Structure 1
Amino acid sequence: MARISTETRARNEQAVRAAMDRLLKGDLPPGGSCDIKTLAAEAGVTRTAFYAKKNRNGTTRPGPYQHLAEEFERRLLTLQQAGEVVDPRIAQIERLKTKVTELKERLTRRDETVAELTAFKELAVSRLAAQHDEIVRLREQAAALGNVRRLPATRPGTAPCGSCS
């Protein structure tokens, strides 16, 4: 692989620093994000220049712009810890994750409410059925004895005799 000249390296480092400043200010290209891949594309250098290299004997050496990648990551982390959002997509993802968590909690509460109401309805229906069965049994018992007389039906709007109302 051909070595680059000192001038070319200096120009590339300037391009990387300029791209780094743009990305960290939030000036992201369409479809890009605040990462090394976009940094390399914006600076016009290969992404592999930001990572360590292996020598033939197995030892590693730093990539030509690895120190810039570390600086970029450090500056990005500092901004994130300060609460600044450089990449609007990351903010959107975080907002959506929060919303999903909130909706899951609401759904859990709704499921619990539905379960409680279903149990209440089943209890109420079973009590009504038991009361109906008891009324039917008492009517049949009263009819079988024959000693119970039915009171005359009252007219609507009139109070029964001796009523306090």
Structure 2
Amino acid sequence: MRIDAAQRIQKENRVRAAMDRLLRGEIPPGGGCDIKTLAREAGVDRTAFYGNRPCAHLRTEFEQRVQQLQDAGQTPDPKTAQIERLKSEIDKLRNRLNQANSTVEELSDFRTQALARLAAQHEEILRLRATPDPNTNIARLPPTRQKTIGPC
């Protein structure tokens, strides 16, 4: 069915009005800032935006305006902005987790090395206490008397 010029202008006006609403961030529930939602809001069949159809130029205009907003750092769709923010937050948290894991691994290695050194030192001390070397001039001191505190 062919439409006349007045109907075409009316359709374009509906599409442009819906386009302006979407780009202002007035996204309907269950929709997004995309061609599908634009077609639904304007009351136009979505296929009218593709190929050599009457609204194809409006699709390119809409996509250019969305791209301009994104280049300016604005996101008309709050869901998209939230998704981008959450992706960024996930990346930061992954980096922090990787740093924490590497720190834990380093500290665990350090702990293992420290325990091994302490054990070796303890064994050396026990060995030195048990058998005095006759070739050294080390004299054993008598044990000291414990001081008592109090009236006893």
In structure 2, the CA distance between the partners of 1:157 and 1:85, relative to structure 1 (3 Å rule), is: farther
Q: Where do 5+ consecutive residues of structure 1 fail to align?
A: 53-61, 159-165
Q: Which residue of 2 aligns with 1:42?
A: 41
Aligned amino acid, residue 104 of structure 1: R
Q: What are the Cα deviations for residues 120-160 of structure 1, in whole angstroms up to 9, with x where unaligned? A: 100110011101211222232139xxx964522343599xx
Q: Which residue of 1 aligns with 2:143?
A: 152
Q: What are the Cα deviations for residues 9-50 of structure 1, in whole angstroms up to 9, with x where unaligned? A: 222111111100100111110111100000000001111110
In structure 2, the CA distance between the partners of 1:41 and 1:156, relative to structure 1 (3 Å rule), is: farther
Between the aligned partners of 2:19 and 2:108, the Cα distance in structure 1 is: 59
Q: Is the Cα–Cα contact under 8 Å of residues 142 and 148 in structure 1 kept in the other structure? A: no
Q: Establish whether residue 5 from structure 1 lines up as the match of residue 4 from structure 2.
A: yes
Q: Which residue of 2 aligns with 1:86?
A: 76
Q: Is the Cα–Cα contact under 8 Å of residues 36 and 69 in structure 1 kept in the other structure? A: yes
Q: Which residue of 2 aligns with 1:66?
A: 56
* Equivalent in 118, 121, 129 of residue 128 of structure 1: 118
Instruction: Name the SS for the 2:3 alignment partner.
Output: coil
Q: Where do 5+ consecutive residues of structure 2 fail to align?
A: none
Aligned amino acid, residue 110 of structure 1: A
Between the aligned partners of 2:130 and 2:97, the Cα distance in structure 1 is: 49
Aligned amino acid, residue 32 of structure 1: G
* Equivalent in 91, 100, 103 of residue 110 of structure 1: 100
Aligned amino acid, residue 23 of structure 2: L
Q: Mean alpha-carbon deviation: is it higher for 20-29 or for 130-139? A: 130-139
Compute the RMSD of aligned alpha carbons: 2.3
Give TM-score, length-normalised by structure 2. 0.86
Between the aligned partners of 1:120 and 1:157, the Cα distance in structure 2 is: 42
**What percent of counterpart residues are identical?**
52
Q: Which residue of 1 aligns with 2:29?
A: 30
Relative contact order, higher structure (CA 8 A, sep 6+): 2
